[in-house]
Amino acid sequence: MQRDFGLIDEMFGIVIRNDKSRGYYIAELDEMTDNYKELLLNFELLSSINTDSVLQKYVLAEHRQNAIRHELIAPLLKAIRKRNPIEFDYTLVRHNGKIVHKRLMPHFLKESQYRWYLIGYDTDGKLKSFGVDRISAINILEDTQFLRDEHIDIPALFRDSYGIWNNPEDPVEEIVLKYDSVDGVFVKTLPLHHSQQILSEDETGITVKLRLRITNDFVMELLSRSRSVEVVAPHTLRTRLYDTLRQAAERNKPIETECD
């Protein structure tokens, strides 16, 4: 237990002590501890479910193989808290698996759509995100510390985006979508974005309005309900969905077979 307490202190800045009158108690909290609460809640639950835990009797986890790399979460959190730069190899999936070497000043971990992302300042001074599942050969430079940017507005980083993508150069646009009555129930009870507003609703379906940057993650979300979704505005998004679906239809058209 003492070794565990030492690790908790080292990683998260939580000092646990014990005395006869109080038993075990939290004596000190690091100034950054609150930033980890939401992350640790998800991580602890997932870790518990994935191990031989009593939670498996009551909680049904997603059956797909998730992309969380548990062995990297702890060292990455430690580097963030200790303000240590890190170096690692990173696989560029969209560039035929090309591997590049990166040096980063890590600031946050963020979860998005079953995946974890490391967010920090690259050597060009820009804030970037990297999929944890594509990080390898990590090296924490423990003898070096960087000056953490404490003025980052964390909620604002992704306020106008869907998912992990956040390019400030992309404009925030007004989007109007129509769904039929079936998909409309899901969109109403689980809004696509915090900006979602209901414009109209009847027995035939629902029309909603959002304001966000149109990213690839958002387009993929719309495609997941392509059975019913209609893009009313903007025209550029409607065209993008049309082109994507047309290409998909061409790739998946029925294969003709010869008849005897």
Amino acid identity, residue 31?
A: E
What gap in Å lies between CA 12 and CA 15, rounded to an integer?
A: 9
Angle between helices 235-251 and 216-223 (to 10 degrees): 60
What gap in Å lies between CA 90 and CA 111, rounded to an integer?
A: 18
pTM as predicted: 0.68
What gap in Å lies between CA 65 and CA 116, rounded to an integer?
A: 14
User: Tokens standing for 188?
Assistant: 């109403």
* pLDDT tens for the 260 residues of the chain, in order: 777 777 777 666 678 888 878 788 777 666 555 555 555 555 555 555 555 555 566 666 665 555 555 678 878 888 998 899 999 999 998 888 899 999 999 998 888 777 888 999 999 998 888 999 899 999 999 999 999 888 888 778 888 988 777 677 889 999 999 999 999 999 999 999 999 999 999 999 999 999 999 988 899 999 999 999 999 999 999 999 999 999 999 999 888 766 65
Q: Spell out the domains of the chain, with CATH numbers in brackets.
A: 2-30 (no CATH), 34-152 (2.30.30.100), 172-251 (3.30.70)
Confidence at residue 24, expressed as pLDDT on a 0 to 100 scale: 82
DSSP code of 158?
Answer: S
- The SS3 assignment for 132 reads helix
Confidence at residue 46, expressed as pLDDT on a 0 to 100 scale: 54
